[in-house]
Structures are given as C-alpha cells and as structure tokens.
Amino acid sequence: MTAQLIDGAAIAAEIRRQVAGGVARLRERGIVPGLAAILVGDNPASISYVSAKARASDEVGIRARTYHLPAETPQEELLALVDRLNADPEVHTILPQLPLPPHIDERAVLERILPAKDADGLHPWNLGKLLRGDLDGAIPCTPHGVQQLLLRTGNDPGGKHVVVVGRSTLVGRPLAVLLTNKAPGANATVTICHTGTPDLGLHTRQADILVVAAGRPRTITAEMVKPGAVVIDVGTNRVDDPSRKRGWRLVGDVDFEAVREVAGWITPVPGGVGPMTIAMLLVNTLRAAERVAGLPPSSFAPTP
C-alpha cells in the first residue's frame, strides 16, 4: 500500500480563494483587512517566511505591511512599535516573526499584542478561549491548518484516536485542545507524546491519525505507524544534501519514503502543512476585520 498524498499547497489555495471572497465583501463596506508583520534581524528563513506571507496577503487583497528592524533593536523599542500598531485602526492583526533575537522576551512581545489583533492565536487570552471551546477568536495557525487538512481530505478526526508527537505551545498542545473540543471537526481522543516519551512507537502505532511536530528528522519510522493511518508531518528540518546545488534540502520529522508505504494518507515536506499555516494566518486576519465590522466571523470548517 502506498499512501495518498495530502496536497497542502492545493488545499491552501482553496482556502485563500475563500478568504479572497471574504475580503472582497469587506472592501465593499470600505474595510480593507490589514496585517502588520514585524521582522527583527536578518535570519534568512524568517525573511523568506515573512515575504511568503506578504505575497499571500497581496493575493487575497489583504493590506500587508512589514516592519524590518535591526537585530540589535532593544525590547522596549519593539514593544513601542507593537503599541503603535495596536492603536492603528488600519491594522487588524499583528505578527511578530518568531524566533526573535535572544535578548528579546518573546512572551512579553506576544502578550503586548491586543488579543483582538493576535495574528498567530498565541496570546494567552486566545489560548484560554480555545481551551474552553470558544472558537470565534484567533485560532493558532498551524493547529488550525492541520485540522483543515484532515477535514478537507475526508479524514474527520471525530471518534478517532489522534496521537500528537510534540508538546509545544505553538503546535502540539493547542492542536490537542482543538481536536478534543466538543465541536464539528473535532471530538477526537488525543494522546500527547514527545521525544522523551519511553517507547514512543508503542503509542504512535495506536494512532488512527498521527501528527508529528517534534522538530527532529526521522523521529517516526515505518514500524512506528499503524497500517492505513493518516500521517501529518509538521516538521521542517534542513539536512545536508551534496546532490543539491544549495547543499541542503528540507525534510520533515517522518521518514517519508518508508512511512508512505505503510500509511493511508501522508503530507509531504515541503508542500504539506507549511502552506496551510500561511493560509490560516490570512483567515485570522479576515476574521479580525470582520469582528471590527460587526460581522460574524467566516467559517472555515467544511463538512467532509
């Protein structure tokens, strides 16, 4: 058996078309959704990510601004910029590109953003709303993207055993909460594991849906996967590859070639979860602008 490939790029394009429709309706009311991205330093990966987010915003009609600050920018100066953006009515969401330089407290920056302008859904207020099952706020982008991948391929997590490998506040923990909510597209039984879990394969082999966000290549091998399982690989790791002109390539946390012969569905890296994260950032920006306009937030939870 060879797994069916989950084309995250195609599904993300479908979501962007939906977002563009919502943006067009707001523009008819004289409201242009605005996203402000803050980039501190010259990390090549961060520059690439912010550029991709700006291009995606332009594609759907969202006004994107990028504030590129030197790596040595003091924390207080960054917080002052956040304050100005909080007060700017043309800015509906604010995105500080992570990671920030070591001298800046990421938590302080995320908590300085108004919850209503939280692009990534990582403010404690929005994480708390998610925990109590209130989904009308900003939902963390990568977990929301994973849920959309499942729903839009007919793999509703309801009643399924989902195993999440990874416990970060960026992916693992909010995804577990999202999928255990008593709501359409959720209602799963979720087990959270991590790289310190003894006999990790004992748990992963029980998964109907396996989501891997461990940040380590080849964390999941073929013998750790239940035949026919859905495998969502969130990892993005750069590994040496002398055969490539640039000398490296991107891989996930899953041994893709081996696992695809066992799984029923699998995401590639790149082209799987990555495009979905950007798409859900656009969703959060649209929904923030809709709240300002007094409109109910658009739904992005299709019935499989």
Same domain? For 67 and 147 the reply is no
Q: Which domain holds residue 264?
A: 141-274
How far apart are alpha carbons 4 and 194 in whole angstroms? Answer: 26
Same domain? For 156 and 196 the reply is yes
301 band by pLDDT with thresholds 50, 70 and 90: low
- Residue 242 inside a domain? The answer is yes
Domain boundary among 79, 114, 149: 114
pLDDT surpasses 80 at 48: yes
Which residues are known catalytic residues? 53, 97, 120
- Residue 246 inside a domain? The answer is yes
Q: Which DSSP helix (H) or strand (E) runs through 209? A: strand 209-212
pLDDT tens by residue, 193-242: 998 899 999 999 999 999 999 999 999 999 999 999 999 999 988 887 78
pLDDT surpasses 70 at 303: no
- Residue 121 inside a domain? The answer is no
How far apart are alpha carbons 141 and 267 in whole angstroms? Answer: 17
Q: Read off the pTM.
A: 0.95
Instruction: Tell me the two tokens of residue 201.
Output: 């394969």
Same domain? For 270 and 147 the reply is yes
Same domain? For 265 and 149 the reply is yes
- Residue 249 inside a domain? The answer is yes
* Higher-pLDDT residue of 195, 110: 110
The total number of structural domains that make up the chain: 2
Same domain? For 197 and 96 the reply is no
**Parallel, antiparallel, or unpaired for β 93-96 and 63-69?**
unpaired
Residue type present at position 193: C
- Residue 147 inside a domain? The answer is yes
Mean of per-residue pLDDT scores for the chain: 94
Same domain? For 89 and 164 the reply is no
Same domain? For 201 and 238 the reply is yes
164 Cβ contact list (under 8 Å, min separation 6): 172, 175, 176, 190, 191, 192, 193, 211, 213
Q: Which residue has the tokens 């960054």?
A: 78
137 band by pLDDT with thresholds 50, 70 and 90: confident
- Residue 130 inside a domain? The answer is no
- Residue 74 inside a domain? The answer is yes
Count CA within 13 A, CB hemisphere, residue 181: 22
* Higher-pLDDT residue of 304, 69: 69
Same domain? For 98 and 165 the reply is no
CATH number at residue 153: 3.40.50.720
Same domain? For 171 and 269 the reply is yes
- Kindly state the average pLDDT of the residues 269-280: 96
- Report phi then psi at 69, rounded to 5: -105, 150
Same domain? For 109 and 155 the reply is no
Same domain? For 159 and 264 the reply is yes
CATH number at residue 108: 3.40.50.10860
- Residue 300 inside a domain? The answer is no
Same domain? For 174 and 220 the reply is yes
